[in-house]
Structure 1
Amino acid sequence: MPEGDNVWQAATRMHAALAGKRLAQTDFRVPSFATLDLAGWTILDVVSRGKHLLHRLSPPEDADPSAGSAPLSIHSHLKMEGSWQVYGAGERWRKPAHTARVVLRTEDGTSAVGFSLGVLEVIPTAEEQTVVGHLGPDLLGADWNPALAEANLRAQPDRPIGLALLDQRNLAGIGNIYRNEVCFLARVHPATPVSEVRDLTGLVAMAQRLLEVNRNRGSRNTTGGFGPRGNSWVYGRAGQPCRRCHTRIQHGVLGEGGVSERDIYFCPRCQPPPQH
């Protein structure tokens, strides 16, 4: 399940492998861009914005200006199952070929392949704000602003904190795993209204800190210990003892009006449900 740290890692990995290189071949396996050929274009950089990825490209030097060859960005979103992988020349893909949605191959044979992408489109770089401008401050980005993130959350005081944290318009990068782990560490039940969270400032700081410490890890760990199977406090641990108080971890779902319900995990003792 990709979250902000996974997307940051993917962008960093691809930037290191592709930036400054010219494309020898592109293969877009989605109907809208199936005929698009960006051979000769140069990858300037690869960046993440919350859970979104942007490959920024410049046109060939000999491109015809009348053809409208302005810089382009390949915009993708991993959604629930997507991933980007980098391969050396002749290296065998580690995922089924039929799940590939785009292949970018540089002149030295390096390839970046996007598998099972939830969103894939090519837009003018000047119009990136149309696809990421709605996002709140990025927990792993240069624009991170904890005060703005907190103000965004407080703007809907009656909304459950567990839903507000997943709303990328408030702060960008938190997915369901971090949502559950942050709520546990803050001793807050996910259904608690934002206005009733005693230390929202601390909760926001903790969320950023968790993503920060995990962005360079090969395997996500929010606990800092408990051995190879102790990588989470509550997420995915329904029925197991709380690592703090040994009460059984409970599982439920949380959504708005039955829409977009997502799994929640919590300790009923450390995170008592709201009483109303």
Structure 2
Amino acid sequence: MPEGDTIWLAAHRLREALAGEVLVQSDLRVPRLATTDLRGHRIDDVVARGKHLLFRIDNGLTLHSHLRMDGAWQIYRTGERWRGGPTHQIRAVLAAAERTAVGYRLPVLDLVPTTREDTLVGHLGPDLLGLDWDRGEAVRRLLAVPDRAVGEALLDQRNLAGIGNVYKSELCFLRGVTPWTPVSDVADPGRMVDLAQRLLDANKARHGHVTTGDMRRGRTHWVYGRDHQPCLRCGTTIRIAEQGPVGEARVTYWCPTCQKGPGPEAAS
């Protein structure tokens, strides 16, 4: 699932293409929205909220999408060939005079009054890349269940919005704790929150995520995606295990030397 900085960049590019433009074509290819026609209406803004995208329209409606694992928005010039996937995977088309946004494989697409956006994203914690970022509230929510594993707490969008599996693994490494460490055993959780915000902000304008400062292939992450490879810091073999409730478990990565605390056996 895309990290919050990836969604921020998608919103930025969609805003550049469509904000202030009047739609000349609108095609929402999901059953409950199939008869919706947004032609003649202006896209006022496109904003990211955690991992959600919100297209705010001048008729008082908001088109909401969530990409989950496979969704993507592609932007094309008018007349340009669409190359994002086969036609049957297209779920939305929003076209202005010069640019067209095409949504592929979108698992979530909703249309709600803009005044009711909170019914879709109101449950989210402070957005790490939002203009209303609230560090204190993010720390408070993270500490609200002190015996919860920090890896699960970081992924919970109700605590702070925008962290995915990449940053969860990297943050735990950089703070020297295993993902199964209880939040209460993490020294100064506020520093972890600050680091999360800095990492997402540093990566929001680029494709991919760099947490090591090294852009070379295979060296952009400390542990994520590096299972069975030597730790870039100490040389110990990086380990991999699933973490989270049944049906929601995510693969996590850690270095058993650089990171202190319980391992995956603690979850059982």
Q: TM-score range by the shorter chain?
A: over 0.9
The aligned residue for residue 271 of structure 1 is 259
CA deviations 1:222-252 (Å, max 9, x no partner) are 1111623211110110000001100000000
Separation (CA, whole Å) in 2 of partners of 1:113 and 1:91: 12
Separation (CA, whole Å) in 2 of partners of 1:52 and 1:75: 7
Separation (CA, whole Å) in 2 of partners of 1:179 and 1:142: 22
The aligned residue for residue 91 of structure 2 is 101
The aligned residue for residue 64 of structure 1 is none
Q: CA deviation at 1:17?
A: 1.0
1:201 matched to 2:190: yes
SS at match of 1:165: helix
Specify every segment of 5 or more residues in structure 1 that has no aligned partner in the other structure, as ranges.
60-70
- The question of whether the paired residues in 2 share the 8 Å contact of 1:2 and 1:82 is answered with no
Superposition RMSD in Å: 1.2
Percent of aligned positions with the same letter in both sequences? 53
Separation (CA, whole Å) in 1 of partners of 2:174 and 2:107: 31
Q: Which residue among 223, 239, 246 is the counterpart of 2:235?
A: 246
Separation (CA, whole Å) in 1 of partners of 2:82 and 2:226: 32
Q: What is the TM-score of this pair, normalised by structure 1? A: 0.92
Matches within 5 A, 1:1-276: 1-59=1-59, 71-96=60-85, 97-106=87-96, 108-225=97-214, 227-256=216-245, 258-274=246-262
Supply the AA of the counterpart residue of 1:265.
Answer: Y
Supply the AA of the counterpart residue of 2:17.
Answer: A
Point out 4+ residue stretches in structure 1 off by more than 3 angstroms.
none
SS at match of 2:213: coil
Aligned length: 263
- The question of whether the paired residues in 1 share the 8 Å contact of 2:6 and 2:207 is answered with no
- The question of whether the paired residues in 1 share the 8 Å contact of 2:66 and 2:107 is answered with yes
Separation (CA, whole Å) in 1 of partners of 2:69 and 2:91: 15
Supply the AA of the counterpart residue of 2:84.
Answer: K
- The question of whether the paired residues in 1 share the 8 Å contact of 2:240 and 2:253 is answered with yes
Specify every segment of 5 or more residues in structure 2 that has no aligned partner in the other structure, as ranges.
none
Q: CA deviation at 1:91?
A: 1.1
